[in-house]
Amino acid sequence: MYYDSIILEENPSLSFEERLRRLIHSHVCFSQENRQLTRIVFWDSDIIDSELKDWVLSMRKEKEEKMMEVIRQSIKKGELRDVDPWLLTIMLEGVVASLWGPIILDDWNV
């Protein structure tokens, strides 16, 4: 459900900026539309069983791999400097995750 709704645009003709904008937008929209679910999956992770937790982690790894590939393509196209794709992916995940708290816990409507 979550990963089906998150748009990690695989169209390399789009700019890195546009691909990132679409990713963040789809994450925010999903979080707003599924507040209770995201609260359980992203916040109350102690209550989910180990099988579900393993699945969530594997989906996260898959998402990270796709994001690193987008970054590699953008470096190759000259849109980004030669940066470590893994490090930039982790940084971007942190930015996106930081939006979750205010959206869900403080009921922001962005």
Inside any domain, residue 109? no
Question: CA angle 20-22-28, nearest 5°?
Answer: 105
Inside any domain, residue 6? no
Inside any domain, residue 7? no
pLDDT value of residue 91: 95
Range of the domain at 76: 14-104
pLDDT value of residue 4: 54
Inside any domain, residue 38? yes
Q: What is the pLDDT of residues 11-43, one digit of tens each?
A: 778 899 998 888 888 878 887 888 777 776 666
Q: What is the pLDDT of residues 34-72, one digit of tens each?
A: 877 777 666 666 666 788 778 778 878 888 898 899 999
Domains identified in the chain, total number: 1
Please give the model's pTM, rounded to 2 decimal places: 0.74
Inside any domain, residue 36? yes
Cβ neighbours of residue 79 closer than 8 Å, sequence gap 6 or more: 15, 16, 17
Inside any domain, residue 47? yes
Inside any domain, residue 5? no
41 versus 75: the higher-pLDDT residue is: 75
pLDDT value of residue 85: 98
